[in-house]
Structure 1
Amino acid sequence: MLVVEDRGGAVALMLASLLFLGTWPALLTLLERRGRLPQHTYLDYSVTNLLAAVVIAIASGQLGGSRPDMPSFFTQLTQDNWPSILFAMAGGVALSIGNLISQYSWAFVGLSVTNIICSSLAVVVGTTMNYFLDGRMNRADVLFPGVACFLVAVFLDSAVHSSNAKDEEQKLSMSGGIELSSDVADKVKLLPDQEALDDGGDDDFGTGTAEFIMQVEKRRSIKVFGSSRWLCLGLAFLAGACFSLFSPAINLATNDQWHALKDGVPHLAVYVAFFHFSVSCFVVGVGLNVWLLYRPVAGVPPSTVGAYAADWNGRHWALLAGLLCGFGNGFQFMGGQAAGYAAADAVQALPLVSTIWGVIILGEYRRSSARTYLLLACMLTMFVVAVALLMASAAHRKTA
């Protein structure tokens, strides 16, 4: 069995995980803005997400020699390690629900805002739990200042969101044919001149302009105008609460800190835990999205299994997103097993990557005010400092 045990290899896995986990949300958001139903996208994503776990489990869990304390992948599938399996599956359920909620939150409050709230909650809650579960193996004097930087980033993110919302309100109010409701602090109600909009067809407007915002709303599958800002932010916080639980669950599954396994039963290898984690994530994700095909939410039109099977528009991007997320999660857990799960939570700085993709692909923060750009730069700087501190707290896990 191939196991990463050195600190350098663990940090390399964390960096790869950071890139992958920061990229796949941009792909799903892009598909939603192009009009593809989120249920169709998530079903495609779920298939390759599970495929990544199977590849990691078989390729890494079967290669190399096995040890008595670390059997091969197929050997562990036959052992009496159900307590650890249940912890892993509980983590998969938490991640699947969090990802599903995030898919709608990305539409309502934006890719950057959602990921920052989710990542910060995952670090503040999840990293603290992992620190104590790992027997305080990471340097507290380095780790917790990093956690504090994530907290600062949350407050800066709130300021960025507020400033950018005001910028968009100003753009819309200055554009002809658009009328804003009086309660602009809580909602933006768009009333375009439909005849003029139809005459415009699918012409591309300048990114970040009022016309661009109108066209995005016209094409996207989740309609967001007129929604309550606080309800939308609540979705992001709910997703973050789910994300804060899945890493500690994997930690318990692989290290058995609560001594749930019988005497003589080896701890669950990280590859095996990730496999069970991904299976439960797949079952929950597919089950909920098949149900949402016929009982959609957030103004999304209904669909059917047959319509999903025939929908090839953008399917390759959804499949790629599943692979990126699957390998990203797998690399995070492998790095955490080697250097501590608290340090591996450095990958929660994924909004650094997501924000870059949000600006390049989705046009977020284009043509915003200087104040918004300054706050955005300060927020991203906090994330850079935070990820550096969490990685610097990495230690070497002592194996039995």
Structure 2
Amino acid sequence: MAVTELVLQLQGFSVIRFLITLPSERIFSNGLKMFLVESKGGAIACMLFSLLFLGTWPAVLTLLERRGRLPQHTYLDYSITNLLAAVFIALTFGEIGNSTLEKPNFTVQLTQLKDNWPTVLFAMGGGVFLSLGNLATQYAWAFVGLSVTEVITSSITVVIGTTFNYFLDDKINKAEILFPGVACFLIAVCLGSAVHSSNAADNKAKLNKLQSDHKTGIEDTRTSTSTEAYTEKVKDLESGNGRADKAKAGTAHFLVELENRRSIKVFGKSTLIGLTITFFAGCCFSLFSPAFNLATNDQWHTLKKGVPKLVVYTAFFYFSVSCFIIAITLNIKFLYHPLLGIPRSSFKAYLKDWNGRGWALLAGLLCGFGNGLQFMGGQAAGYAAADAVQALPLVSTFWGILLFGEYRKSSRRTYILLVSMLLMFVVAVAILMASSGHRK
């Protein structure tokens, strides 16, 4: 026990002494060391907030694409605030407390690049994988839909990435609980593919019926629908709450108007394109978390003896920098050489495009803070358990149904598959969180 004397002297008055007896290890403990999430409860709290953020930002970008904003413009805006979120986390949480030899703060560790560059490369490699995955998903959303895209990519991430993280984390998670959860995610992948196929068949049947009833209906709708008219006449076509003269969500007319409005055209294109993009994104997502794990814990012993490991905030900064570089480079290229028949643009046109820019910037912040919270929780409870945030399709599906009218007026088979997919996700997430361990 340590005795602290507090002496107060006020303008010649007598000295007043206060003897306060406190445990020495508790005195200003939060002020003497860097703030790190260390408890299992804190880790789970980080995961839940991360789940909310990571499940919401895809809905924001999807909304902009469905309103006609070019994905290149949206992703450039998103990338800026995504990086700013990492910088904010590094300069706040990463700077709290005094820097120590084992846990240097953010600015000190930046000067140690020549010593810890192997783990820096792992962190930046994780950022490359995440950037490619996010870039692919913004095209997959148009083809496959928000809900199914998120389910398939998240499930692939868990099946592959969680298995890697389990062995990298020295098996701190309970295998008898973890791997049944992984199996549930694998089943969710199959159900997600089935939901997409069933819903695509439903939409095709609606359009065929419309063509048979009104052979010129689609062409007339195309010529009468424009961006300006849409913006003035209806607040949100996707919500199904617009004016009475607008098509209701789930109808064939709604699908036609949406196709005319959106920036990525999907009519007449094979569903295999969307599924291929989705599976590619899932494979990229499955690798970024293990790479980040290696960056912060150096399980492969790439650092020299005595060199401190990357603090989670420093690793997240390098991770986000590489993510930003890849995103900016590819999207500027896609401005002039777009994919999948998207209209060509330019950097000058991007700078002038303020339609929806605020929403895109918000999406970047949500994703940045969501990823940061995921890594903070993973460092404490194990990155395998932190992959529970891949339950984000539960949040994305909610937004997809609420905002975009996904699955409205679909067949009974589609509804059964959709409910089964979501229930399997709930079970998988609960099992994955139950497998949480504690890093020593």
Instruction: Name the TM-score class by shorter chain.
Output: over 0.9
- Distance in 1, matches of 2:273 and 2:348, equals 33
* Aligned: 1:21 with 2:58: no
Deviates more, 1:260-269 or 1:166-175: 166-175
Number of paired residues? Answer: 388
* Aligned: 1:344 with 2:386: yes
Aligned partners of 1:177 and 1:192 also within 8 Å: no
TM-superposition CA deviations, 1:302-330 (whole Å, max 9, x none):
11111100100000110000000000110
Match of 2:167 among 111, 119, 132: 132
**Equivalence map 1:374-389=2 (5 Å):** 374-389=416-431
The one-letter amino acid paired with 1:63 is: I
The 1:199–1:234 alpha-carbon spacing in structure 2 relative to 1, beyond 3 Å, is closer
Corresponding position of 1:194: 219
Corresponding position of 2:146: 111
Corresponding position of 1:5: 38
**Equivalence map 1:34-113=2 (5 Å):** 34-79=67-112, 80-113=115-148
**Equivalence map 1:1-400=2 (5 Å):** 1-79=34-112, 80-176=115-211, 192-199=217-224, 202=230, 204-398=246-440
- Distance in 2, matches of 1:26 and 1:266, equals 39
Percent identical among aligned pairs is 66
TM-score (norm 1): 0.94
- Distance in 1, matches of 2:386 and 2:220, equals 53
The 1:179–1:296 alpha-carbon spacing in structure 2 relative to 1, beyond 3 Å, is farther
Q: CA deviation at 1:253?
A: 0.1
TM-superposition CA deviations, 1:352-385 (whole Å, max 9, x none):
1111111111111111122211211111011111
- Distance in 2, matches of 1:389 and 1:252, equals 24
Q: CA deviation at 1:68?
A: 2.2
TM-superposition CA deviations, 1:190-235 (whole Å, max 9, x none):
x854234434664521011100000110011111111111122111
- Distance in 2, matches of 1:35 and 1:196, equals 16
TM-score (norm 2): 0.86
The 1:239–1:196 alpha-carbon spacing in structure 2 relative to 1, beyond 3 Å, is closer
- Distance in 2, matches of 1:81 and 1:336, equals 21
Aligned partners of 2:210 and 2:217 also within 8 Å: no
Greater Cα radius of gyration, structure 1 or 2: 2
Any idea what SS the aligned residue of 2:205 has?
Answer: helix
Structure showing greater relative contact order (alpha-carbon pairs closer than 8 Å, 6 or more residues apart): 1
User: RMSD of aligned C-alpha atoms?
Assistant: 1.5
- Distance in 2, matches of 1:17 and 1:42, equals 20
The one-letter amino acid paired with 2:74 is: T
Aligned partners of 1:146 and 1:386 also within 8 Å: yes
TM-superposition CA deviations, 1:325-350 (whole Å, max 9, x none):
00011000000000000000001111
Unpaired runs of 5+ in structure 1? 181-190
Q: CA deviation at 1:31?
A: 0.4
Unpaired runs of 5+ in structure 2? 1-33, 231-244
Aligned partners of 1:178 and 1:193 also within 8 Å: no
